[in-house]
Amino acid sequence: MADSNNKRKERSEGGAKGGGRDARGGKRAKGGSNGKWQTPHQQIKIASKSSGRIEPGDRGIWATCVKGKEGKATEELRSLLEESAEKFYGISVESSKKNDEEDDEDATGSVDDIEASIRKEVAAHKDPAEKLFSAVYLDIQCVLFFKTRSPIDPADLVHRICEDAASGRVRKLRFVNRLTPMSMIGKATEKDVEEVGQAVLGSHFRLAGEVAKSEESVAYSYAIRPTIRNHSTLKRDTVIKQVASLVNDNHKVNLTKPDKVIIIEIYQTICGMSVVGDDWEKLKRYNLYELQSPPSTKPKSGGLADAKPKATPESVNTDETRALLENSSSN
């Protein structure tokens, strides 16, 4: 018995000295990830984060979707965007994706959908040819983002899609809710908000301090609609006043029936902006689900913007009105 114990001890000590096995349990140490094992989902998540992110200078489309169906919504929206690019601009986008639309999905199935979608996106980034629409992984529920590239204009594309949806010319969507175009994206700082604002607003409004180019220039009225997610540095009132200060005084604020609406989206460290037309409210603020639903149908759950109860114009514009009035009085 003593000889047997000594042999076990010698084997254990020999393995520890050789470095091939762990001295405690005798198991060989794992390599390649500092001994930390990663699930396939974690590996895909890390790869997708390193291969695509929203950066200053980008433009694209935010979307909200049904909770737990982010993977399905990504494929559904990708298909819609590619079909619309071909329909409106004559740009054909090759696609080999398969869209499984089973109704009975459990939580595991939803995770598999997300992983499959991310795998496709990671593989797409290895393709040297730049894609018209590239999904970006976001660590947030119910929210998607697609980068777009020239010649696609996000604001024009989303407007056309919503017009078709309102007329019944878009197939019924199951997972995607609201679309929000971003004409330009910068960092979520006061400096970048001003730079992005000047670049985006300059093609729609006469900017502050700018001399009128012609007497026939139209003095559009406007309203500002900011949305802030996962960000605490810039405050809503501050953003409204800063953007309003960029617009020339010949453009008046109209919070009920503006000619144009300035949309601002702040998410973590980025800020995007776009300008939409006077039919934004008529088109349900570009909510595809509401555009495709009968008037009596309640909105489905999911999506940060869609989860809030519909507010009256007075309650929606309270903060904006106060900020704009303070800005006017200070001038």
Question: Edge-to-edge strand order for the sheet containing 270-276?
Answer: 184-187, 270-276, 260-267, 222-229
- Residue 294: asked if its preceding bond is cis (omega within 30°), the reply is no
DSSP state of 176: E
Question: Reduced to 3 states, what is the DSSP secondary structure of residue 244?
Answer: helix
> Looking at the whole model, is its pTM more than 0.75?
no
pLDDT per residue rounded down to tens, the chain (331 residues): 555 555 555 555 554 444 444 444 455 544 455 556 766 555 555 554 544 789 999 999 999 999 999 999 999 999 999 999 999 999 987 643 443 344 444 444 555 665 666 555 555 444 434 689 999 988 889 999 999 999 999 999 999 999 999 999 999 999 999 999 999 999 999 999 999 999 999 999 999 988 877 655 689 999 999 999 999 999 999 999 999 999 999 999 999 999 999 999 999 999 999 999 999 999 999 999 999 988 765 555 544 444 444 443 433 444 444 455 455 555 5
Return d(Cα 105, Cα 110) in angstroms, integer.
7
Contacts (Cβ under 8 Å, ≥6 apart) of 158: 61, 179, 180, 181, 286
Q: Which CATH class is domain 40-92+129-208+218-292?
A: alpha beta
DSSP string, 226-241: EEEES--SS-HHHHHH
Question: Sign (positive/negative) of CA torsion 195, 223, 237, 299?
Answer: negative
Q: What is the H or E stretch that residue 80 is in?
A: helix 70-89
**What size, in residues, is the chain?**
331
